[in-house]
């Protein structure tokens, strides 16, 4: 009991120190955010798109909002008001729209689209998916790569609790005596293991386990015949580094050949070098095992709701609120079909750090893997706000 009290006191002291540092500095600043209202007819492809998958995703976000304090902030950069500002649209969302036109009419009746940094920032949009791995509950044979649960000694601090402008930003660490220090990086964990964490499964392919970390969740085919979800649970707090950029910088791959499939093929062809390249990414993810649930949906995203293939988006939650419908208009060279689509902000990721930046969730299976691995497109982004909020947008967000 005395040791637990000491740990709690140290954590509180560390949190107060971080609060003071955040209060007196510009930790992880963002570019200025500009929002400009537009008409629905100005959205490229709006009339051709079927927004029913996005409507289903929005209803799931509404279920999460219904459990929150109505007076609580929606987060992001502060333009999205409080939870109560979104509840009328949630209550009006039809459960079974009669068709695409009816779903489109709902969004037109309740929301105003706002162009995000349209004049100042080119958008970048990528994709992610839910991979399938082969695992075992015990270590044997080819099953030698651990998939860790959350370590007992990991301390995660949500900076958004101390300053609303830092919504979605976290620090991870470990106590050394009375001092909170950074948690071990990937290379340290690979070399020394994690006695403080339970191994929830053993993978038979270190490259596949590494890509599980990149994607954030996956499905696991256990050698006893079960199919389960391996879901994101926590992260070590270290910065994410895209290994594709490492390979290009080192001359191992040409920038034009860069794709998830190409990176995986390089690693499989260069097993002795693969671990060194993977360890350039200090970020390390911890997981939990969950029932598969609805196989048509993905694992739960940052909002705690199951992701909808083709209609869920990971965003920078320091800028944009979870639950917001977002229209993407991708360039003509995008491999995504359709290029113009309505999605809902329901997740975040270590590489998603910009106002016009998103990661589209494509789902599970070979097609989803191909789409996610090959998608890297520029384009524009329009966030939907409930009409009363858009009508009283603070001047600080005006272009």
Is residue 27 domain-resident?
no
Are 144 and 281 contained in the same domain? Answer: yes
Are 106 and 47 contained in the same domain? Answer: yes
Mean pLDDT calculated for residue range 317-331: 95
Are 175 and 279 contained in the same domain? Answer: yes
Is residue 356 domain-resident?
yes
* SS3 assignment, position 364: strand
Are 82 and 166 contained in the same domain? Answer: no
CATH code, domain with 201 = 2.40.240.50
More confident residue, 96 or 308: 308
Are 142 and 119 contained in the same domain? Answer: no
Are 385 and 318 contained in the same domain? Answer: yes
Render pLDDT for 18-33 as a digit per residue (tens, 0 to 9): 443 444 333 444 567 9
pLDDT at 39: 97
State the pairing for strand pair 285-290/312-314: unpaired
Is residue 49 domain-resident?
yes
Are 102 and 140 contained in the same domain? Answer: no
Contact call for residues 153 and 184 (beta carbons, < 8 A): no
Are 210 and 339 contained in the same domain? Answer: no
Is residue 111 domain-resident?
yes
CATH code, domain with 350 = 2.40.40.10
DSSP code at position 43: S
CA dist., res. 246 & res. 278, Å (int): 9
DSSP code at position 308: P
pLDDT at 20: 39
pLDDT at 166: 67
Mean pLDDT calculated for residue range 210-224: 96
Render pLDDT for 248-301 as a digit per residue (tens, 0 to 9): 999 999 988 888 999 999 999 999 999 999 999 999 999 999 999 999 999 999
Identify each DSSP E strand in the chain by its residue range. Answer: 35-37, 111-116, 123-130, 132-136, 145-148, 155-158, 170-176, 179-182, 199-203, 218-222, 227-235, 285-290, 312-314, 325-330, 340-347, 357-364, 376-386
CA dist., res. 131 & res. 364, Å (int): 7
Neighbours of 390 (CB within 10 A): 17
Whether 10 has a pLDDT exceeding 50, the answer reads: no
For 190-194, the CB contacts below 8 A with 24+ separation are 190/275, 190/279, 193/146, 194/146, 194/148, 194/151
Mean pLDDT calculated for residue range 138-158: 95
Is residue 23 domain-resident?
no
Positive or negative torsion for Cα 59, 323, 118, 214? negative
Segments forming the whole domain that contains residue 149? 132-290
Residues with Cβ within 8 Å of residue 83, at least 6 apart in sequence: 65, 68, 69, 70, 71, 72, 73, 74
The strand pairing partners of 175, in sequence order, are 180
More confident residue, 12 or 110: 110
Q: Which residues of 274-291 are buried (b: 16+ CB within 10 A; e: fewer)?
A: bbebbbbbbbbbbbbbee
Whether 7 has a pLDDT exceeding 60, the answer reads: no
Are 230 and 308 contained in the same domain? Answer: no
Is residue 13 domain-resident?
no
Are 391 and 266 contained in the same domain? Answer: no
pLDDT at 164: 64
Mean pLDDT calculated for residue range 162-183: 81
> Which domain-ending residue is among 290, 325, 345?
290
Is residue 117 domain-resident?
yes
> Which domain-ending residue is among 270, 290, 310?
290
Tally the domains of the chain.
2
Indicate yes or no: pTM above 0.85.
yes
pLDDT at 266: 95
pLDDT above 90 as % of the chain:
75
Is residue 14 domain-resident?
no
pLDDT at 399: 80
> Which domain-ending residue is among 261, 290, 319?
290
Backbone angles phi, psi at 175, to 5 degrees: -80, 130
CA dist., res. 287 & res. 233, Å (int): 5
Across the chain, mean pLDDT equals 89
Are 371 and 261 contained in the same domain? Answer: no
Are 243 and 264 contained in the same domain? Answer: yes
Mean pLDDT calculated for residue range 41-49: 94
pLDDT band at 17 (very low <50, low <70, confident <90, very high): very low
pLDDT band at 177 (very low <50, low <70, confident <90, very high): confident
pLDDT at 171: 81
pLDDT at 158: 79
CA dist., res. 76 & res. 399, Å (int): 18
């Amino acid at each position: 009991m005395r040791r637990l009290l000491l740990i709690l006191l140290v954590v509180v002291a560390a949190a107060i120190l971080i609060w003071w540092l955040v209060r007196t500095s510009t930790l992880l600043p963002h570019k200025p955010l500009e929002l400009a209202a537009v008409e629905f007819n100005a959205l490229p492809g709006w009339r051709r798109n079927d927004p029913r998958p996005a409507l289903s995703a929005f209803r799931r976000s509404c279920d999460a909002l219904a459990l929150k304090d109505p007076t609580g902030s929606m987060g992001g950069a502060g333009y999205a008001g409080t939870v109560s500002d979104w509840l009328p649209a949630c209550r009006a969302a039809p459960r079974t729209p009669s068709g695409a036109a009816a779903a489109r009419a709902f969004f037109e009746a309740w929301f105003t689209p706002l162009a995000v940094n349209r004049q100042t920032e080119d958008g970048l949009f990528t994709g992610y998916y839910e991979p399938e791995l082969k695992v075992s509950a015990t270590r044997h044979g080819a099953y030698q790569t651990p998939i860790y649960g959350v370590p007992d000694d990991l301390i995660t601090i949500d900076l958004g609790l101390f300053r609303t402008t830092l919504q979605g930003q976290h620090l991870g660490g470990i106590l050394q005596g009375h001092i909170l220090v950074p948690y071990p990086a990937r290379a340290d964990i690979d070399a020394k293991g994690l006695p403080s964490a339970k191994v929830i499964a053993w993978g038979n392919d270190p490259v596949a386990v590494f890509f599980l970390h990149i994607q954030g969740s996956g499905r696991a085919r256990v050698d006893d015949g079960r199919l389960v979800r391996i879901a994101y649970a926590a992260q070590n707090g270290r910065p994410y580094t895209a290994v594709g950029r490492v390979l290009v910088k080192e001359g191992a791959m040409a920038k034009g050949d860069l794709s998830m499939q190409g990176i995986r093929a390089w690693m499989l062809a260069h097993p002795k070098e693969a671990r060194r390249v993977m360890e350039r990414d200090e970020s390390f993810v911890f997981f939990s095992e969950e029932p598969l649930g609805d196989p048509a949906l993905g694992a739960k995203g940052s909002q705690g709701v199951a992701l909808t293939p083709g209609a869920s988006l990971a965003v920078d939650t320091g800028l944009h609120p979870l639950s917001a419908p977002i229209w993407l208009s991708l360039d003509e060279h995008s491999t995504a079909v359709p290029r113009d689509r309505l999605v809902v902000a329901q997740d975040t990721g270590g590489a998603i750090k910009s106002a016009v930046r998103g990661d589209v969730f494509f789902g599970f299976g070979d097609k989803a893997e191909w789409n996610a691995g090959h998608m890297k497109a520029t384009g524009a982004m329009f966030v939907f706000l409930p009409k009363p909020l858009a009508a009283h947008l603070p001047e600080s967000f005006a272009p």
